Structure 1
Amino acid sequence: MPGTGRGRDASSDVPDVSAVTGDAPAAVLLVHLSDRSVVHVNPVARQLAPQAQLPLSVDAWSDAAGLLDLDGAELSDTEHPLSKVARSEPVVGQAVSAAAGSDLGGRREPLWVVALPMADAPMLDDHALVVFLPLRDSRAARAAMDAATEQAALRDRAVLATGLSFTVADARDPEFPLVWVNPAFTATTGYTLEEVVGRNCRFLQGPGTDPAARQALHDALDAREPVTVTLLNYRKDGLAFWNQVAMSPIFGADGTLTHYVGIQTDVSGRVAADRARDEALAAERAARAEAEEARHRAEEHRARLDLLAEATHSLSGTLDVAECRRRLLQLVVPQLADWAVVLSPDDKGQIGQVTALHADPADDERFDAYLDALRSTPLRGRLQDLLLDGASARRIGGYSSPAVREVRRTWVEDESVLDLSDEMGVASVLVVPLPGRRRVDDLMVLVRTASTPEHPAPEHTDDDLGIAVDLGRRAGLLLDNARLYEEQHHIATELQRSLLPDLPEVPGLQVAARYHAGQDGNDVGGDFYELIDVPGDGIAVVIGDVAGHDVYAAAAMGHLKGLLRACAWDRTLDTPAAVLTRVDELIAALGMTTMATVSYVRLTPDGPDHWSVEHSSAGHPPLLVRCPDGSVRYLPEARGIPLGVEPSLARETLRERLPTGSLLLCYTDGLIERRGEVLNEGLDRLAGVVAAGPHEPEALCEHLLEELGDSHDDIALLAVRL
């Protein structure tokens, strides 16, 4: 900051007055020397002796202000600064305190007194100017006072060294011309008394002077009020300096404004220090703001990653499309939206399904009305492009503005939808497609409502759009997976239903069957059952398990069932073992890679009270019988290897004669096998459950699945009551 350009001399040992007094307002007195009285005071000085009625003797005014020295002693006539003024002696610096608080400070805070007779001032040649300033550093003030009073020769230089420039302007002239300045003014500015008398002090201003500070000074003078401003002034030699100007109005006995007393202090050093401090503070604040912004960005980035991670975890936790959409909305409301909808097209490219979530249940009625209107209106324009062609996402600010309203008219045919959304106070919208692998099957709309004092809701930002787009990509793929799973599930269900036929009604028999998919998630597999009305009076009962747990196993099972049916109707194959052997031969002859376990049973009435049971096995678990008396036993195993392994090996047929009322249970290994168990444990458990179960085949099948249906493998059941 440019200074005054003055060098140092012996008087430089006296501290700069700005370091002593700071920049507080000054109390100004005008003392008439002839009658030793205070004739004028400015408003700040009036605060020191508020009850004093002017004119008043200097001693009386001092008593009214309660002036004491810094040690708290009363001032004697010889030490009294006002008494010195009355004797036409300059007061180059003396510390006192006043009884009353003021704009200078609280009660008994030290005040710095400087006073000068104005022998050369027109109309004021019999007056002296007395200025009270607050002390900001009592030790520096005392050093200044000591140096100023050490010897008379230093007095004038001490006054100059303080940097206090006194000016008096004529307030009766609209131009406020200067009528007197003290030598310190000349030392500070380079202008002599003769050069400045009759001129307005604005000649010190220049191109760098702040217009706002200049206007503040002008306004205060017009309002006849005291003012203190700091502005950039210029010396006579062109050097700039920062000048603190305190102007105090002086009123005559009749209340007429007569003069303005100005106290000017060169505060270039302080302003430079303040500016350096402010720059350092600004730099620190900028660094803090940058660090805070970096932390905020890091937190936003972390929150974004957390949201995406949570989305992946939550959405991948279900293979139900509707549930996946609901979970997506729970992720974005209220983090990215006050309410949101997912629109899904139908076969005609219009809205087929609407999934929605609102953060405020109080808006449910209006929200439901909006959703009803949305479901019934065809899409077109931008929304149709997003939904059908996968156009890029879009952020729409000022949603309810007339300009945006015109654009929105191109989106739907029924404008009542737009009216309803406007009624809900929509402020901004994100429209985000949810792309799958091949096409866009869903469109997500995120809505923020207008901000209120109770609900501050800023409009969406580009960062919000970026998060929504990332989330939309992940959600689109996961929804695609869920749709694919549902399609495969539907195909599997239909295939399984086609391969597991309705059981025929057979006179004399009660029959029930069940297929239960294992906990590994496959809804279709190779387990099957059959009830075949074979030639003659017999019935063929078949239970089997093709290796594998997928659509391929189901397809192989379908081929195998066709072979079994064909062979069961071959009259030349007169035993179950012969049927299984022929099926095994056909598998090999046809080049099929199918491997399966099968139990084949032929039931034939044997008199009025018994049934003949012939059975053969291709590596299948033993058949279970519950007799009419409630006892449970396994039929002897007809040993044989699974189909598709070695067709040349001989198979055996075993025969049983069971009383009417017996129940024959055919099952696959999913009902008895558990990880970590030996087979006999599963067989014993099944026998116990059957013994305690219902007698009717339908009820027994339900009972078995309830008790033993927790298998990871598929289960097929066929219960026949003879």
Structure 2
Amino acid sequence: MAVESAVHAGPGTDLSLVTGGAPAAVLLVDLTSRTVVHANPVAEQLAPGVALPVGLDRWSDAADLRDLDGAALSRTEHPLSRVARSLPVAGQAVSAARVSELGRRREPLWVVALPMVGAPVLADHALVAFLPLSRREAARAAADAAQAQAQVRDRAVLATGMSFTVADARAEDLPLVWVNPAFTAMTGYPLEEVVGRNCRFLQGAGTDPAAVAAVGRALAAGEEVTATLLNHREDGSAFWNQLTLSPVHGPDGELTHYVGIQTDVTARVAADAERDEALTAERRARAEAETARAQAEAARRDAEESRGRLELLAEATSRLAVTLDVAECRQRLLDLVVPALADWALLLGTDEQGGVEQVAARHRDPARAQDLQHYVVRWLAALAPGPVQRTLLGGAHARRISDYDAAERRQERESWVGDPSILQLSDALGAASVLLVTLPGRQGSDDVLALVRGPGRPRHTEDDLHVAVDLGRRAGLIIDNARLYGEQHRIAATLQNSLLPQLPAIPGVRAAARYRASESGARVGGDFYELIDLPGDAVGLAVGDVVGHDVMAAAAMGHLRGLLRASAWDTTGPAPEAVLDRVDRLLDGLGMATMATLAYARATPAPDGTWLLEHATAGHPPLLVRAPDGRVDTLDAVHGLMLGVQPTTRAGARRRLEPGSTVLAYTDGLVERRGEELSRGLARLARTLAEAPEDVEALCDHLLARLGDTDDDVAFVALRLGRP
């Protein structure tokens, strides 16, 4: 029996969002030591790899708790900070980072925290629950209303009828050790009357034994369970109780408690009337004939099929929208429709002219996968030329062929292919009913989805066609977005790489460089590197980062590279600090509104076989030098103002290097990490450089593999000095 209720705290704010049936993350916190001592499996997923007991701050960092926009929470508004101060949290919207095989995403949560006053053994503990919120925009409205009117927020949890209980899993019969005031308000039973008792005292004659048995089996297996039971208050009145029991484990993994989240899902005024109606309907159902039961069963099946179609559409949107890879998106679509709508399916990717460009296929029987691929190859080779939509659908957007295996269809099917023998392959795979739908894109190149059911299976209905059309519209838009993203990312990467130089071959030195763009769609950046064969035997080495991540930044980077090369290539051999000053003056004199950091070094061979390295920086991270013996030094003796602020006079430094030394210039994407001091990143880079191979190409691969996984662009160049 499905019962819904909603309590509103203000215009447009549905507080029933906090009482959803999805699994909640539950913590038991020791307030004296401010540590998390017990957690359920969902909480362990929020903070993976964290061993109990653990401090509240560390657990919060592992779960990456933030506000709904992903911004950091201050100590005053952080729910776990309030818990640490033994303050209750009546309800607060936050978000947590969840990592899965689909990637990293932020999920909105509603936090409730209550001190467990009066609980045996746990009186100095607090219960913290993180409940999933179904819609971010509604969650934001609830949070805004709660912030604007604290009293409304404090009433929100009680108004929803949501209560919390804690039972001892190590004691016989799972006795309750604590309930919150909302439980008392909902049931009429105070704390002192329920502690030590199993919560079955809420059950009555109308409680479904099968549901109770299912709950018992889950508890015996130590699993989370959600059920809706008909319970009774202390005064005897009935109410529908949506109950979620979650296992909570201690530091050694032992099951120690069950935390229950209970929600009154019926209106108190209508509870008795609904109960009487249900009892009357039951007596009437017992008196009905067997034919009525058959009709009810048929109606139930129809309802299940309808619900299944809606669930399929909802699942399609959620599963397809999480990837930006076209091939993966197509494969996920096939995984959804087989076997829900078909025994096997083909997804025909088309080009701009509507011809088949590629085909993805799936069969419900893995043993037939090879047969299906053989059919696809043969079918593509014999497919009639021209737009596939016109060939198969006659130009329409959807088509149902429920009599696909009829003899009358043979001539039409033969018109699709030049070799009629191919039809025998489809018949062998099983083809009795077919749905053909297009996946409309923005640019007119519609993919085509073919859904095939074999003999002995129900023929496709009009309802199936409607579902397939709706699914096709959604999938077409998502696949088109993924295709557009891929094209833009390729364009951005091509543009960025075209702006980076090919390193010249310079006698006496070996150089290698790497660039990796951040995974940010069509954005391009201003990171660059440069190696200049200077007049005489000198070598110029530079790396820079123009402020910004757009096409303008990339264009400014190209201009800056030109100014740098012009300023550095001079027969007088200007010092690096003079080169940077000249570039800065040119930016100012030419009216170029460009701000950038830049590091520049000039290496000159000496008669004694050593190298003189002169270097200067303009707001850029310092160069690193690895000596032949493997020692790594940071050249941080000079710190100049970044380019584009105002022309200034910078200082430079000089250093004598032995042959076999390696100089590394890099951008901040190689060292900076969010929330970390720069000194830690520099130390990490120095250690990694010390462990890297001597060959510069292998050295660059080593650095990129170890340190290239970052949200920012990465550019660096390594120069190994030989013997002059």
Q: TM-score, normalised by structure 1?
A: 0.56
Letter in 2 for 1:427: A
C-alpha distance in 2, partners of 1:337/1:557? 53
Aligned residue in 2 for 1:330? 335
Aligned residue in 2 for 1:664? 663
**1:221-620 superposed matches below 5 A:** 292=297, 295-346=300-351, 349-364=354-369, 366-379=371-384, 383-385=388-390, 391-451=396-456, 457-518=457-518, 524-570=524-570, 574-620=574-620
Distance 1:683 1:390, change over 3 A: farther
* Contact 2:523–2:551 (Cα < 8 Å) also in 1: no
- Asked if 1:683 is matched to 2:682, the reply is yes
Give the C-alpha shift of residue 282 in structure 1: 11
SS in 2 for 1:331: helix
SS in 1 for 2:415: coil
* Contact 1:353–1:375 (Cα < 8 Å) also in 2: no
Once the two structures are superposed, residues 98-157 of structure 1 have per-residue CA deviations (whole angstroms, 9 ceiling, x without a partner) of xxxxxxxxxxxxxxxxxxxxxxxxxxxxxxxxxxxxxxxxxxxxxxxxxxxxxxxxxxxx
Aligned residue in 2 for 1:640? 640
Letter in 2 for 1:463: D
SS in 2 for 1:638: coil
Once the two structures are superposed, residues 353-373 of structure 1 have per-residue CA deviations (whole angstroms, 9 ceiling, x without a partner) of 111111123434543332122
Q: What RMSD, in angstroms, separates the aligned Cα atoms of the two structures?
A: 2.9
Letter in 1 for 2:682: L
C-alpha distance in 2, partners of 1:388/1:645? 63
Once the two structures are superposed, residues 177-231 of structure 1 have per-residue CA deviations (whole angstroms, 9 ceiling, x without a partner) of xxxxxxxxxxxxxxxxxxxxxxxxxxxxxxxxxxxxxxxxxxxxxxxxxxxxxxx
Give the C-alpha shift of residue 449 in structure 1: 0.7
SS in 2 for 1:460: coil
SS in 1 for 2:599: strand
Letter in 1 for 2:401: I
Give the C-alpha shift of residue 710 in structure 1: 2.8
Letter in 2 for 1:416: S
**1:91-110 superposed matches below 5 A:** none
Distance 1:407 1:588, change over 3 A: farther
Aligned residue in 2 for 1:717? 716
SS in 2 for 1:621: coil
Once the two structures are superposed, residues 385-435 of structure 1 have per-residue CA deviations (whole angstroms, 9 ceiling, x without a partner) of 278997320000111223222233333333333343234331110001011
Give the C-alpha shift of residue 492 in structure 1: 2.2
- Asked if 1:706 is matched to 2:708, the reply is no
C-alpha distance in 2, partners of 1:632/1:352? 53
C-alpha distance in 2, partners of 1:634/1:602? 16
Give the C-alpha shift of residue 342 in structure 1: 0.9
C-alpha distance in 1, partners of 2:293/2:588? 81
* Contact 1:343–1:353 (Cα < 8 Å) also in 2: yes
C-alpha distance in 2, partners of 1:470/1:604? 69
C-alpha distance in 2, partners of 1:709/1:297? 54
Distance 1:585 1:297, change over 3 A: farther
Distance 1:615 1:311, change over 3 A: same
Once the two structures are superposed, residues 536-559 of structure 1 have per-residue CA deviations (whole angstroms, 9 ceiling, x without a partner) of 332211111122334443333223
Q: Percent of aligned positions with the same letter in both sequences?
A: 57
Distance 1:388 1:565, change over 3 A: farther
Larger Rg: 1
C-alpha distance in 1, partners of 2:546/2:430? 62
Once the two structures are superposed, residues 45-66 of structure 1 have per-residue CA deviations (whole angstroms, 9 ceiling, x without a partner) of xxxxxxxxxxxxxxxxxxxxxx
Worse-matched range after superposition: 472-481 or 633-642 = 633-642
Distance 1:516 1:296, change over 3 A: same
Give the C-alpha shift of residue 283 in structure 1: 8.1
SS in 2 for 1:376: helix
C-alpha distance in 1, partners of 2:370/2:614? 69
Distance 1:522 1:304, change over 3 A: same
Give the C-alpha shift of residue 284 in structure 1: 6.7
C-alpha distance in 2, partners of 1:345/1:388? 14
Distance 1:707 1:633, change over 3 A: same
* Contact 1:387–1:443 (Cα < 8 Å) also in 2: no
Distance 1:680 1:522, change over 3 A: farther
Gaps of 5+ in 2: 1-283
Gaps of 5+ in 1: 1-278, 452-456
C-alpha distance in 1, partners of 2:599/2:395? 55
Aligned residue in 2 for 1:693? 692
Once the two structures are superposed, residues 499-520 of structure 1 have per-residue CA deviations (whole angstroms, 9 ceiling, x without a partner) of 2222111111121211123466
Give the C-alpha shift of residue 688 in structure 1: 2.1
* Contact 2:671–2:681 (Cα < 8 Å) also in 1: yes
SS in 1 for 2:432: strand
Q: TM-score, normalised by structure 2?
A: 0.56
C-alpha distance in 2, partners of 1:306/1:506? 64
Once the two structures are superposed, residues 592-636 of structure 1 have per-residue CA deviations (whole angstroms, 9 ceiling, x without a partner) of 443211101112112242212222211000111112233221113
Aligned residue in 1 for 2:80? none
C-alpha distance in 2, partners of 1:388/1:687? 63
Give the C-alpha shift of residue 302 in structure 1: 2.5
Letter in 2 for 1:496: Q
Count of paired positions: 438
* Contact 2:312–2:336 (Cα < 8 Å) also in 1: yes
Once the two structures are superposed, residues 59-107 of structure 1 have per-residue CA deviations (whole angstroms, 9 ceiling, x without a partner) of xxxxxxxxxxxxxxxxxxxxxxxxxxxxxxxxxxxxxxxxxxxxxxxxx
C-alpha distance in 1, partners of 2:460/2:340? 11
Distance 1:573 1:538, change over 3 A: closer
Worse-matched range after superposition: 280-289 or 648-657 = 280-289
* Contact 1:329–1:357 (Cα < 8 Å) also in 2: yes
Give the C-alpha shift of residue 334 in structure 1: 1.0
Worse-matched range after superposition: 372-381 or 674-683 = 372-381
Distance 1:525 1:685, change over 3 A: same
* Contact 1:616–1:652 (Cα < 8 Å) also in 2: yes
